[in-house]
Amino acid sequence: MRITRSLRLLLTACLLSLFAFSAQADDAQAQSLLQQLADAPNAKKGDIISEIAASGDERARQWLEAFSDGKLARNEETGAFVIVLTNRGRNWTVADALSGEELGEVSRRDLDSIRINNALRSQLDGILSVIDLTVEDPAKRLAAARDLRGSVGESQVERLSEIMSAEENTEVKAALQEAVAIYRVVEQGDLASVEVLSGSLNSNARAALNSAANSDNAELAAAAKKALESIEQKLKINDAAKTLYFGISLGSVLVLAAIGLAITFGVMGVINMAHGELIMLGAYTTWGMQQLLPGQPGLALILSIPAGFLVAALAGVAIERTVIQHLKGRPLETLLATFGISLILQQLVRTVISPLNRTVITPEWMSGSIMINEGLSLTLNRLYIIGFALVVFFGLMLIMRKTRLGLEVRAVTQNRAMARSMGIKATRVDILTFALGSGVAGLAGVALSQITNVGPNLGQNYIIDSFMVVVFGGVGNLWGTLVAGLTLGTINQLLEPWAGAVLAKILVLVFIILFIQKRPRGLFPQKGRAAEG
């Protein structure tokens, strides 16, 4: 037993010694490589960088990143290599380059930074990408492969070919093939590589093909021109998809802005010129919530949805009770009165808050975009607004179809006198309908705060468009509002690139005027005796 235990202890000691020796050998090799990098002239540092990258040391990427950022230095007293963590003031915080252990603060006079120039930085960008091609995460490998396009050098081609043959992920492999093909087209005029780039939307690939199209080699130039034609066709399709996406997002904003107006206009026949200011109140509510919850824009935005609805709904009830109920049946007076209210609300906001625009912070989960391909990316904030508009729309549809309020609203819309004779309290319906329509306007303001600045004139930009949507879709019809909003938003976005923003709106207005001449009740007219009269 004692012999067995002694053998175990001896074996353990031998293994520990072996690991220690291996670690010492690795550190000695690393120290030697870093020493060469520090002492070599710039002309020879490129070879040493490649040697460090090929060493297989897990710390190689950290060293090269620090070198690229100008944060790799040598302690003049001890000769140890360190990575600068913070370089402010006289004393810099550093970490040991070999062990990674933080060493605290060191006087910057005791540190000799290893110099780097732009040419070496360009080489490092490609080498760091090659290092990333060996990690386990496919997303990181894909990002690294895409970064290599346009930066592959002669020394990397052989290594990249080896990596390609071992790569199992098709996206990563395709990106690597493009990276190598760009190099071969530019440097070697390789005809086969032109075919590889023929479907690529990458700017570096297009630049390589443009260069080949001007080549003295007639066959190469013809193949490059053909590849560029196919790419241009793809780019046109992607531009059309992008325009359609922006048109749908603009249409979703119009739907949100107009759907509340469609309800109140359909039920009460009121031309509410203060509807834009109710949208503005919803946007300011979002800004106010972010002031109450600083540093939490996501939570503030979520809470702004019910808050914006309530603020705008209460404002709508106040407007209806104080002004509109006394002007029923007189649309011209209602228009003038609500226009005056809109001016009052604008001036109230200027006085109480500020005449200056306010910026609402977009939450992190709404920032950025989804990349469909290299020619098409969809911004997340607009994607959320499209989804939000659909949720609000179908929520209103449920209210109108499945609740008692919805039944009464439809009854009053179709024939107010008959609804009263059946015991429906039309005044109560008017109040609730105006509150609902105003609340939805507040929700539109919450959505708009994510794509534009919040200011006193915010609602004025959407009030005319909202009325056009209501008239075009059919007064009081929710489906008509949805179709009209999306249609007008898309048409406007299609016209803007060649007609300009102002002329595009004029053309849309002319289109609606001509359309109303043929269909005075819009796309989806009301049904009922009131509509017939």
Q: Write out pLDDT tens, residues 394-433.
A: 998 898 888 888 788 777 777 777 877 877 887 788 888 8
Three-state helix/strand/coil letters over 391-423: HHHHHHHHHHHHCHHHHHHHHHHHCHHHHHHCC
- Which residues does 61 contact at the CB level (< 8 Å), separation at least 6? 128, 131, 132
pLDDT > 70: percent of the chain: 91
pLDDT tens digits for range 376-396? 888 898 999 999 999 999 998
Query: What is the predicted pLDDT for the residue at 126?
Result: 65
Cβ atoms of 483 and 524 within 8 Å: the answer is: yes
Q: How confident is the model at residue 10 (pLDDT cuts 50, 70, 90)?
A: very low
pTM: 0.72
CB atoms within 10 A of CB 240: 12
Query: What is the predicted pLDDT for the residue at 147?
Result: 80
pLDDT tens digits for range 182-201? 888 888 888 888 888 887 88
Burial of 45 per CB tally in 10 Å (0-12, 13-18, 19+): buried
Fill in the amino acid letter for 182.
Answer: I
Give the orientation angle of helix 478-499 with respect to helix 460-473, to 10 degrees: 120
What is the rounded CA–CA span in Å between residue 179 and residue 471?
Answer: 54
pLDDT tens digits for range 230-266? 888 888 888 888 889 988 998 998 898 888 888 887 6
DSSP string for 356-391: S-BPPPPPGGGSSEEEEETTEEEEHHHHHHHHHHHH
Fill in the amino acid letter for 24.
Answer: Q
HSE-up of 485 (CA within 13 Å, CB side)?
Answer: 31
